[in-house]
Amino acid sequence: MRAGEKNILIVIGALVIVMMGYRAMHMTADEPDPGIPFYTTATAEMKREAEIVYKDNDCSNCHALWMVRNMLESVPAPPLDGIGSLRDEQWFYSYFSAENPQAILPTRLKEEYRMPSFAHLSERDRRLLAAYMSSLKVESWYLDEVKRTEYEKLTGKKYQSESHEAGIQN
Ligand code: HEC
């Protein structure tokens, strides 16, 4: 074998080893990427219309949605991503229509940080918001995380998941 051929073989050999190493690394580290767990079942039109009402009423001053919120505000309100997997449309409608939302969902916050009443909004806007909120779903593998965040925001206490509690009993 000539020196030139030998060098080519060495280079090819090295490449193969590098590629195998790269693949092996990715096969272990790369559990299939689960991606973003949040999605909506709303039509594009409903989403657009509801987000206008959402914006007009400054909901993002206190809440995160699509993982976006007003960074200048620090109200510890529950994020709304995935909230439609925890409650249904009728609940949201009653909540937005309540003169005193805290009678439905108790608060731990000072007056100015609490969920305001949106009873003054038109019937159409409250229905639209309720329908949109109930369309905000989370994939089941992330549901417990949404429950945990909501519970901790609402109560300020640590959340013990059902599976965690079951684990302690065993
Ligand atoms: C001043 C801050 C503030 C604004 C503005 C606000 N919220 Fe809230 N919201 C809260 C807080 C805080 C809670 C938790 C209950 C409480 O402490 O009153 C809450 C609770 C909720 C819940 C129930 C969450 C759950 O855990 O089930 C929904 C849904 C909701 N808000 C939607 C909205 C929408 C839609 C808007 C705009 C139309 C809005 N909020 C505007 C502070 C706010």
pLDDT in tens, 3-56: 788 888 777 777 777 777 666 666 555 667 778 999 999 999 999 999 999 999
- The neighbouring-strand residues paired with 138 are 38
Confidence of residue 100 (pLDDT cuts 50, 70, 90): very high
Residues making up the chain, counted from first to last? 170
CA dihedral of residues 77, 82, 88, 89 (deg, nearest 10): 80
Ligand 1 touching residue 92 (CB < 6 A): yes
State whether residue 89 is helix, strand or coil.
helix
Q: What is the DSSP string of 86-122?
A: TS-HHHHHHHHH-S-GGGTS---S-GGGSPPP-TTS-
Q: Tell me the CATH class for 38-161.
A: mainly alpha
pLDDT digits over 134-145, tens only?
999 999 999 999
Ligand 1 touching residue 146 (CB < 6 A): no
Task: Tell which residue, 156, 154, 151, has the closest CA to residue 164.
Answer: 151
Asked whether the whole model's pTM tops 0.85, one would answer no
- Going from the Cα of 86 to the center of ligand 1, the distance in angstroms, rounded, reads 14
Ligand 1 touching residue 57 (CB < 6 A): yes
